[in-house]
Amino acid sequence: MEFTLTKEQKALKEKARIFAINEILPVARKYDESEEFPLDVIKKAHELGLLNLSIPKKYGGPDLGILDACLVVEEISSACPGIATSIFDNNLGAEPIILGGNEEQKQRILSQLIKDYKLIAFATSEPTMGSDVAGMKCRAEKDGEDYLLNGTKFWVTNGGFADYIIIFATIDPQLKHKGICAFIVPTDSEGVKLGKQIPKLGQRASNTVAVVLKNVRVKKENVLAKPGRGFVLAMQTFAHTRPAIGAFAIGCARSAMEYSIDYAKKREAFGRTLNNYQAIQFKIAEMYKDIEAARLLTYKAAWEADQGLDNNLSSSIAKAFASDVAMKVTMEAIQIFGGYGYLRTYPVEKLFRDAKLYQIYEGTSEIQRIIISRFAMKRYEHAMPSLFKRDRK
């Protein structure tokens, strides 16, 4: 077992940290207030090779492993979770092509993302369903070798600015997961209508829109997954992208902890700075240990994916745990700041608002717990003999 990062990984983390401090931190509040999409920052990330992290070298990408990507994500998210979501949405959009695309699709789309700086989004969710992916209603109707798409996708991150969206749709909602297919849809296709930015609690620098599809023709070359294969592709994608949600949450929580330490060393109450009080010291200790545990779980989930192992369980554990840590740590950070924590003067109220999303997108915390409990109760092999089969002396 090896817990140290390689020289290359340390350098990558450092590069991402410098970018986060110089290019994101100074504009984080501005984008949160204006709810504008941080196109200039995303462009700079692209120029530095920090976008499209997992695209293979063959298509011009940096070909980073999922663990490497998590190192970058933690740094970027620690400066602004909303901008981080905007930057790394290309990873979510590209992953179904990396996992399920044919060679021609990979050559055509993945190399465009790198060479021509294109943005790609991902859409399973709809206004009437999010968790129940098999319950989607957006229709895909076969028309010769093409498909016609009709329906509405909702909550599409980066959707308002994306050049492509991976659209999941069904040939028949009654077929549930067996009917689901996936398509590469250029957003300038006839019949695609991109909605306006939906105002949000947090992560306001990320763009979230509805996408309406009216008789959108998808040519054969843009069919990514045939009926039945789409559901599996969506789940495989999540197993690869959920470790990064863990890393997002860790970055967010880490900054809330660091700000809390800074503040506790400065603020005086009853004649001493807050860091002298054990109640505050223990809050910091809780933050530190939880962040460390979340990071280890995230690294394990990422490492398993990089080894080609089934990381469905570990990625659910990492995402659920790290998201809860981000929520807890940001809430406690506000408590340490007292009244000032509640004001927009300091960044902890923003991190608190931003953190909430981790418990919701890419599978809610409840859905992760369903995956974990299903494993624990059905597949987990007990170490000890059954309670009811034990010989009693």
Q: Where does this chain bind ligand FAD (CB under 6 A)?
A: 121-125, 129-131, 155-157, 200, 208, 357, 360-364, 366-367, 370
- Asked whether the beta carbons of 351 and 83 are under 8 A apart, the reply is no
- Report the residue number, 300 or 319, with the smaller CB distance to ligand FAD: 319
Shortest reach from residue 201's CB to ligand FAD, in Å:
9
**Cα atoms in the Cβ-side hemisphere of radius 13 Å centred on 83:** 33
**Which two tokens mark 201?**
């609690």
| Class of residue 366 by CB neighbours under 10 A (exposed 0-12, middle 13-18, buried 19+) | exposed
Cα 347–chain centre separation: 21
Nearer to ligand FAD, 152 or 273 (CB): 152
Query: Please, which residue, 203 or 255, has the CB nearer to ligand FAD?
Result: 203
Is 393 strand, coil or helix?
Answer: coil
- Separation of alpha carbons 96 and 228, rounded Å: 14
Active-site annotation holds for 23:
no
Closest distance to ligand FAD from the beta carbon of 158 (Å): 7
CB of 43 to ligand FAD, least distance (A): 20
Q: Which of these, 84, 153, 161, lies nearest to 119 by C-alpha position?
A: 161
- Minimum distance, C-beta of residue 316 to ligand FAD, in the bound complex (Å): 13
The Cα 95–Cα 233 span in angstroms is 9
Question: Least separation, in Å, of the C-beta of 243 and ligand FAD?
Answer: 16
Please count the CA atoms within 13 angstroms of the CA of 357 that sit on its side-chain side.
23
Choice between 54 and 208, CB closer to ligand FAD: 208
Residues 6+ apart with CB under 8 A from 70: 243, 244, 246, 247, 298, 299, 302
CB of 125 to ligand FAD, least distance (A): 3
* DSSP string covering 256-284: HHHHHHHHHHH-EETTEEGGGSHHHHHHH
- Which residue of the set 221, 362, 366, 381 is catalytic? 362
Q: How far is the CB of 269 from ligand FAD (least distance, A)?
A: 37
Which tokens belong to 149?
Answer: 């798409």
Q: Which two tokens stand for residue 46?
A: 């692209």
Taking the least distance from each CB to ligand FAD, the nearer of 129 and 261 is: 129
Q: How many angstroms separate the CA atoms of 83 and 387, rounded?
A: 51
Residue 360 or 372 with smaller CB distance to ligand FAD: 360
**Angstrom distance (rounded) from CA 335 to CA 149:** 49
Q: Residue 189 has which token pair?
A: 């296709």
Here the tokens at position 203 are 């992560």
CB nearest ligand FAD: which residue? Answer: 130
Which residue, 25 or 129, has its beta carbon nearer to ligand FAD? 129
- Residues annotated as catalytic are 362
